């Protein structure tokens, strides 16, 4: 089954053609990151307008790169939630229009499912069920138990900020460029992970909390500079040396990654039948997180991490998720009633 997949949930306009959930026939991503670097963050209205300009050329290129015509495509898949409303609207309306015009079945998929299914792309080994997925992105931090394809049980979630958001906000405090996650990772290379002791939140069960860690970094920076806690965060960066920035970045990254993996270890204790652990979402690009996840702490449980190009937003993962929905018996979406919903649940 060849699926033309479309993704536009945030600031990447993407289309891909995926065969049987794993084989990548084409993959096109147009990122708006350069536009938003100047602003230090995504402006939803600007993102939606950029999607509108890019979406049809991107879809055409995905078909051309795959060497296929519209008649050779079996179905169309699109991200319908969660994401920025205006951004989602461009992708869903495009997919809906194409499904109607070309007479193809339409599958509306959940963005977080797609991030998990990035682990099935390509021709390598695929995860075995039951599995635990650690979904770490700019908007989500969740541990999800999957007993089989398309069965999702959220067993842990953040009670406040997402871990990616925490990377982004700490980067702002340190004066590192947008997007914050990769900037922290780069800056941390020259830093000492033990220089600043940051707290691990005491949250019961498998839930996370990251807002306290962000504030802890803020207080530690103020303290290091001998400034009162009323000093605004935007005034701190000029006073930090490059070495101090690197040490804060390294200490923060180390703590954030340990917090994530401690909860995964706990989830594994609660679900000893688990055969695989999969990482998913933008933060799974983090090298320290990847190394720690694969350092043997999870015993014989195999750890899967998407290839770097599949950790960010892309449409290949949407095609994979849609395929495994189809084989799990999920019915096609009626294009005339497709609505975008600001939902965050994954069921």
Determine the interface stretch with ligand AMP among 124-132, 196-204, 213-221, 275-283 (rule: CB under 6 A). Answer: 275-283
3-state secondary structure of 124: coil
281 lies in the site for ligand AMP, by CB under 6 A: yes
Is 82 an interacting residue with respect to ligand AMP (CB under 6 A)? no
Q: What minimum distance in Å lies between the beta carbon of 113 and Mg ion?
A: 11
Rounding to the nearest 10 degrees, give the CA dihedral for residues 9, 15, 17, 22: -40
Q: At what angle do helices 242-270 and 211-225 cross, to 10 degrees?
A: 150
Paired with 135 in beta bridges are: 142, 280
Q: How far apart are CA 44 and CA 165, in angstroms?
A: 16
| By the rule CB under 6 A, 259 interacts with ligand AMP | no
User: Across-strand partners of 278?
Assistant: 133, 304
In 104-192, which ranges are continuous DSSP H helix?
111-117, 163-174, 180-188
Per CB under 6 A, the segment of 60-68, 80-88, 208-216, 283-291 that binds ligand AMP is 283-291
Dihedrals φ, ψ of 189, to 5°? -60, -30
* Beta carbons of 194 and 209 less than 8 angstroms apart: no
For position 127 contacting ligand AMP by CB under 6 A, the verdict is no
Task: Give the span between the Cα atoms of 214 and 224, in whole angstroms.
Answer: 15
The one segment of 204-212, 262-270, 277-285, 296-304 that binds ligand AMP by CB under 6 A: 277-285
The answer to whether 306 contacts ligand AMP (rule: CB under 6 A) is: no
Judged by CB under 6 A, the residue of 313, 316, 324, 326 near ligand AMP is 313
Residue 254 or 313: which CB sits closer to Mg ion?
Answer: 313
Show the 3-state SS of 284-309.
HHCHHHHHHHCCCCCCCCEEECCCHH
Q: Is 139 in the site for ligand AMP (CB under 6 A)?
A: yes
8 touches ligand AMP by CB under 6 A: no
Cβ atoms within 10 Å, residue 273 = 9
Please tell me whether residue 314 binds ligand AMP under the rule CB under 6 A. no
Name the minimum Å distance from CB 318 to Mg ion.
10
Alpha carbon distance 250, 259 (integer Å)? 14
Residue 310 in the binding site for ligand AMP (CB under 6 A)? no
Q: Which is nearer to ligand AMP, 285 or 326 (CB)?
A: 285
Q: Which of 119, 233, 286, 314 binds ligand AMP (CB under 6 A)?
A: 286
Q: Using the rule CB under 6 A, is 179 a contact of ligand AMP? A: yes
Q: Residue 235 CB, nearest distance to ligand AMP (Å)?
A: 23
In angstroms, what is the minimal distance from the CB of 96 to Mg ion? 21
Among 16, 154, 170, 185, binds ligand AMP (CB under 6 A): 185
Strand residues in 106-254 grouped as ranges (E): 106-110, 131-136, 141-146, 153-157
* 319 forms part of the interface with ligand AMP (CB under 6 A): no
Q: Dmax over Cα atoms in the chain, in whole Å?
A: 67
Chain centroid to CA 329: 26
Name the residue with the smallest CB distance to ligand AMP.
Answer: 282
Q: How many whole angstroms separate alpha carbon 278 and alpha carbon 293?
A: 10
Smallest distance, Mg ion to C-beta of residue 248, A: 26
Chain residues binding ligand AMP by CB under 6 A are 10, 137-139, 164-165, 167-168, 179-182, 185, 281-283, 285-286, 312-313
């Amino acid at each position: 089954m060849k699926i033309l997949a479309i993704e536009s949930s945030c600031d990447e306009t993407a289309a891909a053609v995926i065969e049987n959930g794993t084989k990548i026939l084409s993959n096109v991503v147009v990122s708006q990151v350069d536009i938003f670097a100047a602003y230090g963050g995504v402006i939803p209205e600007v993102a939606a307008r950029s999607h509108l300009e890019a979406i049809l050329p991107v879809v055409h290129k995905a078909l051309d790169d795959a060497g296929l015509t519209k008649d050779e495509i079996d179905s169309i898949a699109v991200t319908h939630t969660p994401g920025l409303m205006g951004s989602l609207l461009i992708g869903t309306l495009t997919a809906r229009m194409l499904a109607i015009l070309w007479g193809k079945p339409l599958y509306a998929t959940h963005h977080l499912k797609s991030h998990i299914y990035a682990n099935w792309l390509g021709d390598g080994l695929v995860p075995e069920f039951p599995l635990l997925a650690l979904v770490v992105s700019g908007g989500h931090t969740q541990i999800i138990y999957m007993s089989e394809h398309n069965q999702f049980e959220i067993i842990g979630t953040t009670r406040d900020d997402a871990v990616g958001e925490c990377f982004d906000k700490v980067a702002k405090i340190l004066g590192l460029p947008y997007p914050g996650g990769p900037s922290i990772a780069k800056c941390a290379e020259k830093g000492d992970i033990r220089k600043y002791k940051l707290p691990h939140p005491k949250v019961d069960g498998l839930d996370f909390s990251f807002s306290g860690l962000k504030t802890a970094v803020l207080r530690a920076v103020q303290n290091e500079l001998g400034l009162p806690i009323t000093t605004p965060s935007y005034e701190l960066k000029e006073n930090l040396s490059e070495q101090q920035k690197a040490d804060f970045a390294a200490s923060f990254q180390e703590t954030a990654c340990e917090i994530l993996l401690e909860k995964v270890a706990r989830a594994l204790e609660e679900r000893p039948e688990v055969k695989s652990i999969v990482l998913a979402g933008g933060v799974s690009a983090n090298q320290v997180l990847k190394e720690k996840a694969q350092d043997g702490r999870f015993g014989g449980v195999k750890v899967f991490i998407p290839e770097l190009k599949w950790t960010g937003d892309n449409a290949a993962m949407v095609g994979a998720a849609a395929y495994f929905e189809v084989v799990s018996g999920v019915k096609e979406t009626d294009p005339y009633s497709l609505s975008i919903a600001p939902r965050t649940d994954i069921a």
